[in-house]
Structure 1
Amino acid sequence: MEALMNWLEAQLADNSIFTLQTLGYYGEGLVTTVQLVFLSLIIGLVLAVPLAIGRGSRHAWLRLPIFFYCYVFRGTPLLVQLYLIYYGVVFVEGIQDTWLWLILEKPFVPALIAFTLNTAAYTTEIFRGAIKSTPRGEIEAARAYGMSWGLMMRRIVLPSAFRRALPAYGNEVIFMLHASAIASVVTIMDLTGAARFVYARFYAPFDAFLFVAAIYLCLTFAIIYFFRHLEKRLLAHLKPASG
């Protein structure tokens, strides 16, 4: 194994900045980026479903706060939100004396909070539109069967809305992947942070950032392929039968 590692290092050493050490930085950055994007999307999706239902409520006391939240987080840059959460935590009185500071002092957690709140706002609007466009006939049929509101939402409205929202949500996932590049501004060693580190060490900006751009491109193609495959499976019943 040691001989193999020495051979690989010798081969990679001939290619400018791409050594086993720098590739290790990119590997760590890739793991951090995937973790940040995946966790923010999962938590944001869990938050967005009830928020989307509440967003379409007839009750103003429930609908208006959700509207305001979505309006603020969709109407301001994610970078500004990240700065406010990352630096604003310090100014919360007494927080540094609590156990929460042990978690929030790490830059990954404020970044995760900012990314989660941002994607939850966009996903809420995506699902709200999908729920609102549910065919009236499906709702009337569910009521005719005697379904309660909760059972109708769980079995009819939400599954149907999820299928319609899938293309738009796929775009949101890609957006979050690309937006994760700003996480490096709060000292997170993600893919872009790794590229900055390699650039600062070897003074090779084109090599460092072109390589990380290629990684983002591969991740984007993988996401596109996954959602297209998922759409084919979930929307197969809409295709006309070949005769």
Structure 2
Amino acid sequence: MDALMTQLEALLADNSIFTLQTLSYYTEGLTVTVQLVFLSLLIGLVLAVPLAIGRSSKRGWIKWPIFAYTYVFRGTPLLIQLYLIYYGVVFVDGIQETWLWVILEDPFMPALIAFTLNTAAYTTEIFRGAIKSTPKGEIEAARAYGMSTNLMLRRVVLPSAFRRALPAYGNEVIFMLHASAIASVVTIMDLTGAARFVYARFYAPFEAFLFVAAIYLCLTFAILYFFRYLEKKLLAHLQPMS
């Protein structure tokens, strides 16, 4: 233990690695990572709700295309999806002469599209399972009150499904945070990209990547705490009375 503490003290005292400049790289990488993960999760959540409702439909022309989309994006690696969107967009005829190229030229946008489509596919299946497991008693009670299908979805089914899906969705958020590390392969300066830059400059792989791993660990614990707090608040009625 004493030897480990001595090594850590020597590491923190090494001004050639942990300088204001290198810490600024990590700060910039942290900002990019948070933006990428937050936006992809937000947009993916907005897409997943109607897709989950459609996926639960009894009409084949609605649910089967959605099933095909979720099957493909959940059954293929996110890295391959990122490569296809980032490199494949260049080969679309005429796209470089359109206004879309101004947006897609920045590697952040193809990464955001890939991450959004991926998390939307997983979230759709999470919500679909939660919707399917809605107790029949709740649906019968809503119908007994004369609620329409849309009103029942908005006031009964979706709030109940969201509470049941919360633990699984928390895992999806953590998964997306960890998966965001691959964004650096398309020249995005995220946390992992910052670590690779510091490693290439100072030839210090352990210091560079262990520091980033510690940041990811702190973010993961923060997300876990946040979702446990939400579960405690939203599922308080299921807790045993003291």
In structure 1, distance between residues paired with 2:166 and 2:141: 24
Q: Which runs of 5+ in 2 are unaligned?
A: 1-11
C-alpha distance in structure 1 between counterparts of 2:14 and 2:209, whole Å: 19
Is 1:80 aligned with 2:77?
Answer: no
Task: Quote the offset at 1:240 in angstroms.
Answer: 1.8
Residue 51 of structure 1 deviates from its aligned partner by 0.3
Query: What's the counterpart of residue 6 of structure 1?
Result: none
In structure 1, give the amino acid aligned to 2:153.
M
User: Could you say which residue in structure 2 is the equivalent of 1:116?
Assistant: 116
Equivalent residue number for residue 6 of structure 2: none
Q: Distance in 2 between matches of 1:13 and 1:29?
A: 23
Q: Counterpart of 1:159 in structure 2: which amino acid?
A: P
What residue in structure 2 maps to residue 100 of structure 1?
Answer: 100
Q: Which runs of 5+ in 1 are unaligned?
A: 1-11
Look up the match of 2:46. Answer: 46
Task: Determine helix, strand or coil for the equivalent of 1:93.
Answer: coil
- Partner amino acid for 1:65? P
Corresponding residue SS for 1:221: helix
TM-score (norm 2): 0.94
* Number of the residue aligned with 1:206: 206
Shift of 1:225: 0.3
Preserved contact between residue 13 and residue 19 of structure 1 (Cα < 8 Å): no
SS in 1 for 2:134: coil
1:16 is displaced (CA, Å) by: 4.4
Give 2:179's aligned amino acid: A
Equivalent residue, structure 2, for 1:234: 234
2:115 and 2:166 mapped to 1: Cα distance?
Answer: 20
* Matched residue type, 2:34: V
Distance 1:167 1:16 in 2: 43
Q: Report what 1:24 is aligned to.
A: 24
- Report Cα offsets for 1:27-47 as digits up to 9, x if no partner: 000000000000000000000
Report the count of equivalent residues.
231
Superposed structure 1 runs of 4+ greater than 2 Å apart: 12-16
> What SS does the aligned partner of 1:189 have?
coil
Shift of 1:13: 6.6
Hey, what does 1:71 align to over in structure 2?
A: 71
2:117 maps to 1:130: no
Once the two structures are superposed, the pairs formed by residues 152-231 of structure 1 within 5 Å of their partners are: 152-231=152-231
Normalising by structure 1, what TM-score?
A: 0.94
1:53 counterpart SS class:
helix
